[in-house]
């Protein structure tokens, strides 16, 4: 029963306890120890389980906990062998904790370790140490003498280094002699100290001015402002104060006035807003910068409560709590929104601390920095991080975050629409990326017109848009889809046909995965796009043909004449029907790349400049890209690319030669040249058909395929005869 009680007592000890046995070498020197028993508190404080340590050696346990385990093992061994207890503080790098450790022995070779977690205390001590160092640095860099005295014996606990400069005596001399100040005080002013001490005891503060005789024999005037510091039971625990040399002020009466004016100037000209409040939050003093920031005059602020003037309604309760925290000694620093006189909401960075007024009452010193511009920039950066730089719509990142945020029961049913622009590649290749970008912008604007304020429209990337519709059923989403379809195939301000494919899906129940709903919407859009793709691309290409016709009034007639001549020649050289159809299509589309060239160049009456000619020479490549983007027109894309290549290899864009040039391209180059020569152009007058045939014959074998040229010449001569 006795052992049971001892075990129970051991287990329930309020401190961490481990019972151990030391292990010695043949010379009875401690080399290790083994843990025999630990209690519950040990497990809680260290985080170890019983099987981690019991019957384990100290070298194994301590290896990852402290830097020098053998040092601790030897110390514990000495205690176990000599019976002399040891206490120390230690740090565990494994647990990142500080412990207070006591080692004692009740029997040789056995010892117990008792320890407590003192991490929180050590952190506070470290912070206090850092704070004291900072305060000492501040105080010792001050031109004034800052001091702290014990109470009521008035021994010097701290005095700043300014005593050496002002008195000529060192800090050590002041600390070693509590009466030194009285000894160096001018004989006529010694009574002032007793009066000031009586006043300090009665009122908690004192102000005195007196003369001292420095170590060098000079007389100086000092102003001393002291106060009592109280504990939580309102019992004085020390006296603190600041002594300032005022010799010059005393020499000249007007120096006092100058100093007061200077103080007001510094206070009012400080680049930060400053408000001094009483413990109720009522404004006692305010500087010019605060008035400038907020738009209020000093008369409008002084006497009023900061809550009533500046604090937003939703922050009133927090403001009350902050006042209590400040009066109780906390320092606060935070960003806050406040209301200006004109009602504008602005941001300020606020730092607040408590102060003690000369009458001993508590107050608040509140310092404000205008950070409104910084907050605007932060807001702009946040805005840009969630916005597509081109369209100004939300980007994919924002959409995905909102999709997750709105994935709640309250937002069901939740619908998603996927939008994919048709033919953007054709637009980019024909008009250029600037026009393609404009198409994206105008598409976004069209979509936005049919959406509610709470709907989220985002550019998902490339030519895709996504729309998130909270609290929107399948039927309601379908109505929105139908309205958007009515916007389809509208002509933009740039004359471009805006065309897009749509798909949607709706989440009805919470157990449905929102990402799967997004995928269903995307799949639905893709199916619709496949079924509409050919028609949409053909509309875009037809639009390009119409655009070219508008740029040059003879283009349509030119294509019609070429189609007739191409079919005639094709039949003469016995092309099969599919080739005849392709040749007719080539006659229509061969110059489609010219849609990218300005009307000024296409209709220029005079000779083209070298730069303009290089632009003209790009149109076969542009035409190739446009035709390649459409399944229906891709069959003549290669011929469009090569219709300005020459038989001798001197053509463009690739310098192909002879039969390297596609057959239909060789045919269309002859017909194109003939039609251009026999019809009026802005840059040339027409020539007769015979003259044109003579030119083709002249350049047969150079520009034109000689066999095809001969066939064409004979065909036309037959018509003329």
Structural domain boundaries in the chain:
2-118, 142-251, 269-375, 388-538, 552-720
495 falls in which pLDDT band (50, 70, 90)? low
* Residue 1: predicted pLDDT: 38
pTM as predicted: 0.40
**What token pair was written down for 331?**
């320092």
Q: What is the mean pLDDT of residues 665-674?
A: 93
Q: Is the peptide bond before 101 cis (omega within 30 degrees of 0)?
A: no
Four-CA torsion 514, 517, 518, 520, nearest 10 degrees = 160
410 falls in which pLDDT band (50, 70, 90)? very high
What percent of the chain has pLDDT above 70?
88
Strand, helix or coil at 63? coil
* Residue 531: predicted pLDDT: 59
Contacts of 316 (CB under 8 A, 6+ apart): 307
**What token pair was written down for 52?**
């981690």
The Cβ-side half-sphere exposure at 482, using a 13 Å CA radius, reads: 6
For residue 132, pLDDT over 70 is answered with no
Do 142-251 and 269-375 fold alike per CATH? yes
Which residue, among 626, 628, 613, 619, has the nearest Cα to 597 in the 3D structure? 619
How far is C-alpha 395 from the chain's CA centre? Answer: 15
* Residue 488: predicted pLDDT: 75
Beta strands in 120-178 (DSSP E): 145-150, 156-159
Q: What is the mean pLDDT of residues 404-418?
A: 93
- What is the second-level CATH architecture of the domain 142-251? 2-Layer Sandwich (3.30)
- pLDDT per position as a tens digit, 147-186: 889 998 888 888 888 889 889 999 899 888 888 999 999 9
Give the separation between CA 592 and CA 541, rounded to whole angstroms.
9
For residue 247, pLDDT over 90 is answered with no
Give the separation between CA 20 and CA 650, rounded to whole angstroms.
99
How far is C-alpha 517 from the chain's CA centre? Answer: 29
Strand, helix or coil at 566? helix
For residue 533, pLDDT over 60 is answered with no
Which residue, among 375, 308, 363, 302, has the nearest Cα to 336 in the 3D structure? 375
Number of H helices and E strands in the chain, helices first, is 31, 22
CATH number of 2-118: 3.30.450.20
* Residue 545: predicted pLDDT: 62
Terminus-to-terminus CA distance in the chain, angstroms?
139
Helix (H) or strand (E) holding 223: strand 219-230
* Residue 540: predicted pLDDT: 59
Burial (Cβ within 10 Å: 0-12, 13-18, ≥19) of residue 459: buried
- What is the second-level CATH architecture of the domain 269-375? 2-Layer Sandwich (3.30)
Helix (H) or strand (E) holding 538: helix 514-551
3 falls in which pLDDT band (50, 70, 90)? very low
Four-CA torsion 145, 151, 157, 158, nearest 10 degrees = -20
**What token pair was written down for 70?**
């053998």
For residue 427, pLDDT over 80 is answered with no
- pLDDT per position as a tens digit, 546-603: 665 545 545 667 778 888 898 999 999 999 988 888 898 888 888 888 877 777 777 7
Could you say which of 3.40.50.300, 3.30.420.10, 3.30.70.270, 1.10.1580.10 is the CATH number of the domain covering 388-538?
A: 3.30.70.270
4 falls in which pLDDT band (50, 70, 90)? very low
For residue 83, pLDDT over 60 is answered with yes
Contacts of 615 (CB under 8 A, 6+ apart): 597, 601
Domain 552-720 class in CATH: mainly alpha
- pLDDT per position as a tens digit, 295-334: 999 899 999 998 888 888 888 888 888 888 888 888 888 8
* Residue 2: predicted pLDDT: 45
| Cα angle: 78, vertex 81, 85; to 5 degrees | 60
Strands 394-395 and 283-286, bridge-based pairing = unpaired
Helices (H), 152-281: 162-166, 171-176, 180-184, 190-203, 247-251, 254-269
The mean predicted confidence, pLDDT, of the chain is 84
Q: What is the mean pLDDT of residues 249-264?
A: 62
CA pseudo-torsion sign 121, 122, 124, 125: positive
For residue 530, pLDDT over 70 is answered with no
Q: Which residues of 587-602 are buried (b: 16+ CB within 10 A; e: fewer)?
A: bbbbbbbbbbbeeebb
């Amino acid at each position: 029963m006795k052992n049971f009680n001892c075990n129970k007592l051991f287990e329930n000890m309020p401190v961490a306890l481990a019972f151990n046995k030391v292990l010695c070498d043949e010379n009875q020197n401690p080399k290790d120890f083994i843990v025999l028993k630990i209690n519950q508190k040990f497990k809680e404080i260290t985080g170890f389980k019983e099987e981690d340590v019991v019957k384990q050696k100290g070298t194994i346990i301590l290896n990852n906990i402290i830097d020098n385990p053998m040092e601790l093992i030897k110390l514990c061994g000495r205690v176990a062998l000599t019976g002399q207890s040891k206490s120390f503080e230690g740090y565990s790098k494994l647990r990142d904790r500080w412990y207070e450790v006591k080692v004692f022995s009740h029997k040789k070779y056995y010892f117990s370790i008792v320890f407590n977690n003192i991490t929180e205390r050590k952190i506070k001590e470290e912070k206090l140490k850092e704070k004291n160092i900072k305060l000492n640095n501040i105080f010792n860099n001050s031109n004034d003498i800052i001091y702290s005295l014990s109470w009521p014996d008035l021994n010097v606990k701290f005095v700043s280094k300014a005593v050496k400069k002002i008195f000529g005596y060192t800090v050590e001399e002041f600390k070693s002699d509590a009466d030194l100040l009285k000894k160096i005080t001018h004989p006529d002013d010694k009574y002032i100290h007793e009066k000031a001490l009586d006043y300090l005891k009665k009122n908690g503060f004192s102000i005195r001015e007196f003369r001292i005789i420095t170590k060098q024999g000079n007389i100086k005037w000092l102003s001393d402002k002291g106060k009592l510091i109280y504990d939580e039971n309102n019992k004085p625990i020390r006296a603190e104060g600041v002594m300032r040399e005022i010799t010059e002020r005393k020499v000249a009466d007007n120096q006092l006035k100058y100093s007061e004016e200077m103080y007001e100037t510094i206070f009012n000209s400080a680049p930060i807003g400053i408000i001094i409040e009483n413990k109720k939050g009522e404004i006692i003093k305010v500087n010019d910068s605060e008035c400038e920031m907020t738009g209020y005059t000093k008369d409008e602020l002084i006497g009023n409560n900061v809550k009533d003037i500046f604090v937003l309604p939703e922050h009133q309760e927090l403001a009350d709590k902050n006042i209590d925290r400040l009066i109780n000694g906390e320092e606060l620093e935070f960003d806050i929104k406040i209301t200006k006189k004109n009602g504008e909401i602005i941001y300020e960075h606020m730092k607040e601390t408590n102060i003690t007024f000369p009458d001993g009452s508590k107050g608040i010193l509140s310092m404000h920095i205008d950070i409104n511009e910084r907050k605007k920039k932060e807001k702009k950066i946040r805005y840009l991080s969630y916005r597509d730089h081109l369209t100004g719509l939300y980007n994919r990142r924002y959409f995905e975050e909102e999709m997750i945020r709105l994935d709640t029961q309250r937002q069901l049913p939740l619908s998603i629409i996927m939008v994919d622009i048709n033919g953007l590649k054709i637009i980019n290749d024909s008009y250029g990326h600037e026009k393609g970008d404009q198409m994206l912008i105008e598409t976004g604007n069209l979509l936005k017109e049919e959406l509610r304020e709470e709907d989220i429209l985002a550019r998902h990337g490339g030519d895709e848009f996504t729309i998130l519709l909270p609290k929107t059923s399948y039927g309601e989403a379908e109505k929105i889809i139908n309205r958007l379809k009515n916007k389809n195939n509208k002509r933009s301000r740039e004359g471009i046909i805006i065309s897009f494919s749509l798909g949607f899906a709706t989440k009805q129940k919470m157990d449905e995965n929102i990402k799967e709903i997004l995928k269903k919407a995307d799949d639905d859009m893709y199916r619709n796009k496949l079924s509409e793709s050919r028609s949409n691309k053909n509309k875009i290409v037809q639009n390009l043909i119409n655009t070219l016709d508008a740029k040059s009034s003879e283009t349509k007639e030119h294509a019609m004449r070429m189609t007739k001549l191409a079919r005639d020649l094709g039949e003469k050289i016995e092309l099969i029907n599919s080739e005849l159809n392709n040749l007719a299509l080539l006659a229509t589309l061969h110059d489609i790349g010219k849609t990218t060239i300005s009307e000024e160049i296409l209709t220029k009456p005079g000779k083209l400049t070298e730069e303009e000619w290089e632009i003209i020479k790009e149109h076969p490549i542009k035409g190739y890209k446009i035709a390649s983007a459409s399944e229906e027109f891709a069959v003549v894309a290669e011929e469009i690319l090569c219709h300005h290549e020459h038989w001798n290899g001197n053509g463009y864009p690739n310098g192909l030669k002879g039969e390297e040039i596609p057959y239909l391209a060789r045919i269309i180059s002859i017909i194109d040249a003939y039609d251009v020569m026999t019809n009026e152009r802005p840059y040339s007058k027409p020539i007769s058909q015979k003259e044109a045939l003579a030119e083709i014959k002249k350049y047969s074998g150079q520009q034109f395929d000689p066999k095809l040229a001969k066939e064409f010449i004979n065909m036309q001569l037959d018509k003329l005869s």
